[in-house]
Amino acid sequence: MISKYIFGEPIETGAVVMELTQSEADFSVMQLEVQENAIQLSCHMAENDIVYGLGEQVRGMNKRGFAYISNATDDPAHTENKHSLYGAHNFMILHRCEKDSDGQKSFGIFVDDPGTVIFDVGQTDLDKLVITAGKNCVIYVIEGNNLKDMVKQFRELIGQSYVAPKWAFGYQQSRWSYETAEEVRSVVEGHHGKGIPLDAVYLDIDYMESYKDFTVDEEKFPNFEEFTAEMKEQGVHLVPIIDAGVKIEKDYPTYEEGVRENYFCKDEDGEDFVAAVWPGKVHFPDVLNSRAREWFGGKYRWLIEQGIDGFWNDMNEPAIFYSEKNLKKVFDEIMLKKDENMDLHAFFQMKNLVVGLSNNPVDYQSFYHDMDGKKIRHDQVHNLYGFNMTRAASEAFDKIEPDKRILLFSRSSYVGMHRYGGIWTGDNNAWWGQLLLSIQQMPGLNMCGFLYTGSDIGGFGSDTTEDLVMRWLEFGIFTPLMRNHAAIGTRYQEAYQFENTDAFRNIIRMRYGLLPYIYSEYMKAVLNNEMYFRPIAFDYPDDSQAFRVEDQLMVGESIMIAPVYVQNAKGRYVYLPEDMMMVRMKSLEEKSCEVLHKGHHYIDIALDEVVIFVKKNHMLPLAVLDQNVKTIADVDENRIEWIGFAEESAEYMLYSDDGMSRNYTPQENWKKVVLTKEELAKTKK
Ligand code: GLC
């Protein structure tokens, strides 16, 4: 059951697709305090209660013990002290453990407020949940039978998730930047030459001419259309980045059109707001305005016509290096101190002035959107910017390529954007702890509908190491978006750069072997409004031990994974919530299976091994691959080896389609496979 509560005069965010009327009942799951400028909700959390959700955030799957602030922020250090990352995903479930919650019921809550929302989940007061939202918002309360049921109801409320083209379920390689066509060719050759499959190479900001959106640097990428076709012939899709800021430059058509037609965000005086990002001074397209959104989205056409079929939208919090006005103010203040003998306070004050130039809250309060006739100050709708930039592209794709799926994902997002594209988790670092963070982020993201997601494999910032990339790939083979990406100035981390090429090839090939499963489970999650990644307690709600597990995941209906994320670890403890079949793989071809009993186990997992746990009476389909599989298109989904164990028999629904068209529902896309326990025993190697 979903109850809707409206406070003040909320802005239509586009998060929700279901029409509901205001609830007649009083707001009762939490104490409600309507303050002058805010709504505050609070309740007690019993010792064993757990909070799940909040999407892209730092820390564990159980969010208790910290305060999380929804305020989309470009912050490349995802450390434990941070309260905000790039997304604003205001949905959480307070799971009450019946034993000590005094009969209080579990509930889900979604705060539909595009401004700053604070979820203090026991940071200030260990046992208290306090949610603070703006005075104009809509709050949805979801009650249900269990965790899965509450998520499903929420997902029905917010609408069906985006489906990427099938090739985007292949392995993808990125770097800031592959600077020239020649370099891109060498990356493709690096993979294919060593038998490592590859479906996409990313073009980061340097493919553009002076960082101008919808341009290609002709010197570095001559005959771009031909180059795109040449790559396609090798089965490789090029995925260019699109940034939010439009460079201010005379005669640059995107800029000129935007100014002429009033498509940019305005400052207090009604002038186009000036911020600075990669190209220097930019204007921000007012993607909250339907005319500007249509215009900006239409701009992607130029690249699509040159054969591009995938995009990543970036810097769309929107990130601001500095604003013209604030920069001037800071320079003036610093000049006053030029000859000063600065003590501790004076020095840090000056330093903070410079550091505070970027993503400054004052700047976000100083520009405006024209929301189809309504002038709204940016900070009140801040968290909707990335959402609407992505919506702009997606709505344009509907017109440009109505029957074709185009890969689209974004850095910033708000609930609702999951219908238009995926997200990646932004600028992580090549640290072991960030691998754990990416594992822990997945269920929260899935709860909010972000199914096409993954982290920068190997770590974006800092120099990585061979073992970290390998362990990260061993997790990454399960994330729908499987992309290796690294920052400028860091060590090159393409799979072929390392000595143990065989191990890298074997692990990446496993992804292609897993494709029938990953794709089927992805589509089930989309079509049934379910989670592809789940904390194990979601599947074993009667098992109190399962609620304590923070580093294992259920993936789809058949398997559980327990990735290794600790440096030098030779294995790890794994909790099995029931008897499961452990599949140990050195490669798709070299594997062994063993049924292990419910309980705690220490499992050896060598650096080059992947271990998967298959649930009882379930099956895992693995595609049998030829040695020369290069791309997703080479995977023969009819040559399948089935792994699993059953008391009597097991059943599995396989999904397959052409990977391109947008019609996901035909009955013939599904194939039911039933195997008896004897048949299953035979297929096992
Ligand atoms: C941002 C993105 C990163 C990209 C870089 C340069 O930091 O998050 O992925 O490589 O910008 O475009």
Residue 333 lies in a domain: no
* Cα-to-chain-centroid distance, residue 683: 36
Q: What is the pLDDT of residue 612?
A: 98
- Encode pLDDT of 313-361 as tens digits: 999 999 999 999 999 999 999 999 989 999 999 999 999 999 999 999 9
Mark which of 97, 124, 158 sits at the end of a domain.
158
Contact 517, 554 (CB under 8 A): no
Break the chain down into helix, strand, coil percent, rounded to 5: 30, 25, 45
What distance in angstroms lies between residue 208's CA and the mean position of ligand 1's atoms? Answer: 14
Residue 655, phi then psi, degrees to nearest 5:
-115, 140
Q: What is the pLDDT of residue 517?
A: 98
CATH number for the domain that contains residue 9: 2.60.40.1760
280, two tokens: 């220097």
What distance in angstroms lies between residue 311's CA and the mean position of ligand 1's atoms? Answer: 13
Residue 443 lies in a domain: no
Q: Beta 237-243 vs 200-203: how paired, if at all?
A: parallel
Mark which of 109, 138, 158 sits at the end of a domain.
158
Q: Is the pLDDT of residue 178 over 90?
A: yes
Residue 86 lies in a domain: yes
Q: Return the ∠ at Cα 240 (arms to 234 and 244), rounded to 5°.
A: 170
Q: Which residues line ligand 1 (CB under 6 A)?
A: 176, 204-205, 241, 314, 411, 426-427, 485
Q: Is the pLDDT of residue 196 over 90?
A: yes
Closest CA to 551 of 73, 61, 46: 61
Residue 650 lies in a domain: yes
Q: Which residues contact 381 (CB under 8 A, 6 or more apart)?
A: 11, 13, 114, 115, 288, 369, 371
449, two tokens: 């509908």
Q: What is the pLDDT of residue 524?
A: 98
Q: What is the pLDDT of residue 206?
A: 98
CATH number for the domain that contains residue 655: 2.60.40.4040
What distance in angstroms lies between residue 314's CA and the mean position of ligand 1's atoms? Answer: 7
Residue 606 lies in a domain: yes
Q: Which domain holds residue 565?
A: 520-681
Contact 574, 543 (CB under 8 A): no
Q: Ligand 1: which of 204, 211, 429 to mutate, judged by most atoms within 8 Å of the beta carbon?
A: 204
- Encode pLDDT of 468-522 as tens digits: 999 999 999 999 999 999 999 999 999 999 999 999 999 999 999 999 999 999 9
Which pTM does this prediction carry?
0.98
Q: What is the pLDDT of residue 684?
A: 61
Closest ligand 1 atom number to CA of residue 241: 12
Mark which of 158, 178, 196 sits at the end of a domain.
158
* Count of domains forming the chain: 2
Closest ligand 1 atom number to CA of residue 76: 7
What distance in angstroms lies between residue 172's CA and the mean position of ligand 1's atoms? Answer: 16
Closest CA to 228 of 187, 175, 181: 181
Q: Is the pLDDT of residue 158 over 70?
A: yes
Which residue type, as a one-letter code, is found at position 185? R
Q: Ligand 1: which of 86, 175, 176 to mutate, judged by most atoms within 8 Å of the beta carbon?
A: 176
What distance in angstroms lies between residue 241's CA and the mean position of ligand 1's atoms? Answer: 9
Exposure of 226 in the CB half-sphere (CA atoms within 13 A): 5
Q: How many CB atoms lie within 10 A of CB 145?
A: 10
Q: What is the pLDDT of residue 577?
A: 98
- Encode pLDDT of 301-324 as tens digits: 999 999 999 999 999 999 999 999
Q: Which residues contact 32 (CB under 8 A, 6 or more apart)?
A: 39, 40, 41
Q: Ligand 1: which of 211, 315, 320 to mutate, judged by most atoms within 8 Å of the beta carbon?
A: 315
Residue 106 lies in a domain: yes
Catalytic residues: 314, 317, 427
Q: Return the ∠ at Cα 314 (arms to 663 and 204), rounded to 5°.
A: 95
Distance from C-alpha of 554 to C-alpha of 577, rounded to nearest angstrom: 11
Closest ligand 1 atom number to CA of residue 204: 12
- Encode pLDDT of 72-110 as tens digits: 999 999 999 999 999 999 999 999 987 667 778 999 999
Q: What is the pLDDT of residue 91?
A: 99
Q: What is the pLDDT of residue 101?
A: 74
Closest ligand 1 atom number to CA of residue 427: 8
Q: Region 587-611: what's the mean pLDDT?
A: 98
Q: Beta 171-173 vs 482-484: how paired, if at all?
A: parallel
What distance in angstroms lies between residue 382's CA and the mean position of ligand 1's atoms? Answer: 20
**Residue 87, beta-bridge partner list:** 413
Residue 649 lies in a domain: yes
| Region at 503 (left for phi over 0; alpha for psi -120 to 50; beta for the rest) | alpha
**Residue 118, beta-bridge partner list:** 69, 132
Q: What is the pLDDT of residue 5?
A: 98
Residue 551 lies in a domain: yes
Q: What is the pLDDT of residue 104?
A: 86
Q: Which residue owns the Cα nearest ligand 1 atom 3?
A: 427
Q: Which residue owns the Cα nearest ligand 1 atom 7?
A: 427
Distance from C-alpha of 379 to C-alpha of 105, rounded to nearest angstrom: 35
Q: Which residue owns the Cα nearest ligand 1 atom 4?
A: 176
Q: Which residue owns the Cα nearest ligand 1 atom 10?
A: 176
Distance from C-alpha of 607 to C-alpha of 318, rounded to nearest angstrom: 39
Mean pLDDT for the chain overall: 97
